[in-house]
Amino acid sequence: MVVLVSGGAGYIGAHAVRALQSAGHTPIILDNFSTGHREFTAGFVCVEADVGDTQAVTAAVKKYGVEAAMHFASFINVSDSVHDPRSYYDNNVASGIRFISALSAAGVKKFILSSTCAVYGVLQDIRPLTENDAINPINPYASCKRMLEVVLTDYAAAYGFSSVLFRYFNASGAQADQGIGEWHEPETHLIPNILRAAMSKGKAPLKIFGNDYPTGRTDGTAVRDYIHVSDLARAHVAGMDYLREREGCFTFNLGTGNGASVLEVLQSAEKALGLRIDYEMHPRRAGDAPFLVADSSLAHKELGWRAQQSDLESIVKSAAVWEEKLATLRNRH
Ligand code: UDP
C-alpha cells in the first residue's frame, strides 16, 4: 500500500517508514520539519508541509495514490503542554482534525493514530492497564491524543474511515545502523538523559524527578513500560494489515507488560555500559503519572504482535550506539 506518514522525519515515524518499506509498502513522508530531521528522510519521498494544510494533504493523496495514513506528527512534551496548552490544542488537535478530514474527503479510509498510555491517567491500583480501563488524561498532551481518538471513533461510525489507535507506552531504543534514533531538542526522555549523564562523567548527573510515588516498589521513583521503537514500528505494519480486512476503530496498548522504575532503568544502563552513573533527586515533574504498564494481550491476540527486542539492556545498548552518532550529528548543526 502507499502510506502517507505524517511526522516521518521524527523518532517513531522514521522507524515506521523503514518498517513499512521492508514489508513491501511505499511510505510517503509528510513533515513540516518543525522538529523533524532532514537526515531521517534521505532516500524516501517526502512532502514538506504541515498536517493542517488541507491543500497540501489533498494534493499528496492524489499525486502519490495514497491508500492509508499514519499520524505521528505532534508536539510531545508533557511539561510544555501543561504550561502552554493553547499551542498543544492548536497543533495536535486542530491541525490533527484537519489532517484526518482532508484524508477522509480525499477517499483515504485507513488510518493509524500514534496515541499514548497517558490517556489512562492515574490508576487507583498498581497493575497493567487494559484498553477497557477508565480514560482520564491528566495533562493537556494526553487530552489532545484522547480528543483525536474520539474523533476517529466517530469518523469510523459515520464515514467508514477505519482506524487503529495505538496507545504506546514508553518508546525507546534506536536503529542506529539505519541512522535513526531519538533526537529531541531539548531532550526530556529518561534513557537519552541517562546516557548523557553517563557521557558527562559526573559533570551533569541525571536528574530524577520524584522518589515519593506510590508504585508498590520501594524506591518510589515512577514506573514505566519501556518498549523498543522497532517493536512499535512492526506493530504499525501489523495494524495496516489488520485494517485491510475489516472496518471500524480498534484500540491497542503497545508495551511489554514489564514495569521498570527510574532507578531500575538507571541500574540496567549501568550494567549495559559497565559504568557508574551519577544522579540527584528532584521534585516530581508536572503532569507525570506514578505507574504506567501495559497489558498488551489484545494486540497479541488480534494482531499477532508482541514485543521482541524490548529487554531493558538491549534497549539501552541500542540507544547508546545512537547517542554516539547523534553527538557527531549535533556538532554539525
Ligand atoms: N525522568 C527522570 N529524569 C529525566 C527524564 C525522565 O526522572 O531526565 C522520569 C520521568 O519523570 C518519568 C520517567 O522518567 O517518571 C519517564 O519519563 P520520560 O520523559 O522518558 O517519558 P514519559 O513517561 O514522561 O512519557
Between the CA of residue 273 and those of 62, 104, 261, 312, 314, what are the distances in Å?
A: 49, 48, 18, 12, 11
One domain for residues 136 and 95: yes
Tell which residue, 36, 32, 1, has the closest CA to residue 15: 36
Look at ligand 1, atom 19, and give the residue with the nearest C-alpha.
189
Residue listed under C-alpha cell 534506536: 174
One domain for residues 137 and 206: no
294 lines ligand 1 (CB under 6 A): no
Residue 78 is predicted with a pLDDT of 87
78 lines ligand 1 (CB under 6 A): yes
d(CA 75, CA 95): 11
262 lines ligand 1 (CB under 6 A): yes
CATH code of the domain in which 198 resides:
3.90.25.10
* Contact indicator for 243, 68 with CB cutoff of 8 Å: yes
Instruction: Answer yes or no: is 301 within a domain.
Output: no
One domain for residues 202 and 143: no
One domain for residues 200 and 243: no
Angle between helix 95-105 and 54-64 (nearest 10) = 40
Indicate the helix (H) or strand (E) that contains 96.
helix 95-105
Instruction: Answer yes or no: is 194 within a domain.
Output: yes
Instruction: Answer yes or no: is 162 within a domain.
Output: yes
222 lines ligand 1 (CB under 6 A): yes
According to DSSP, the β-strands at 45-48 and 68-71 are: unpaired
Cell numbers at 173, concatenated: 531504543
Active site residues: 141
Instruction: Answer yes or no: is 298 within a domain.
Output: no
Cα 27 to chain centroid distance, Å, stands at: 18
Amino acid letter at 81?
S
Residue 313 is predicted with a pLDDT of 93
One domain for residues 156 and 82: yes
Domain that holds residue 118: 2-172+226-254
Look at ligand 1, atom 25, and give the residue with the nearest C-alpha.
170
Ligand 1 centroid to residue 283 C-alpha, Å: 12
Residue 278 is predicted with a pLDDT of 97
Residue 288 is predicted with a pLDDT of 86
Residue 125 is predicted with a pLDDT of 80
Look at ligand 1, atom 6, and give the residue with the nearest C-alpha.
190
Instruction: Answer yes or no: is 300 within a domain.
Output: no
One domain for residues 58 and 9: yes
Instruction: Answer yes or no: is 316 within a domain.
Output: yes
d(CA 37, CA 272): 28
Residue 138 is predicted with a pLDDT of 85
One domain for residues 89 and 213: no
The C-alpha angle with vertex 83 and arms to 82 and 85, in degrees rounded to 5, equals 65
Ligand 1 centroid to residue 52 C-alpha, Å: 29
**What is the length of the chain?**
333
Ligand 1 centroid to residue 27 C-alpha, Å: 31
> How many independent structural domains does the chain possess?
2
Mutate to test the pocket of ligand 1, among 12, 141, 190, 217 (most ligand atoms within 8 A of CB): 190
d(CA 300, CA 235): 10
One domain for residues 281 and 162: no
Half-sphere exposure (CA, 13 Å, Cβ side) for 8? 29
Three-class secondary structure of residue 180 per DSSP: strand
One domain for residues 205 and 60: no
The pLDDT tens digits for 69-126 are 999 999 999 889 999 999 999 999 999 999 999 999 999 999 999 999 999 988 778 9
Look at ligand 1, atom 3, and give the residue with the nearest C-alpha.
208
One domain for residues 30 and 102: yes
Residue 61 is predicted with a pLDDT of 98
* Contact indicator for 269, 194 with CB cutoff of 8 Å: yes
Ligand 1 centroid to residue 189 C-alpha, Å: 5
The pLDDT tens digits for 43-65 are 999 999 999 999 999 999 999 99
**Residues of the chain whose pLDDT is less than 70?**
none
One domain for residues 92 and 235: yes
One domain for residues 200 and 72: no
d(CA 43, CA 40): 9
Ligand 1 centroid to residue 236 C-alpha, Å: 24
Could you tell me the maximum CA-CA distance found in the chain, to the nearest angstrom?
Answer: 57
Look at ligand 1, atom 16, and give the residue with the nearest C-alpha.
190
* Contact indicator for 183, 275 with CB cutoff of 8 Å: no
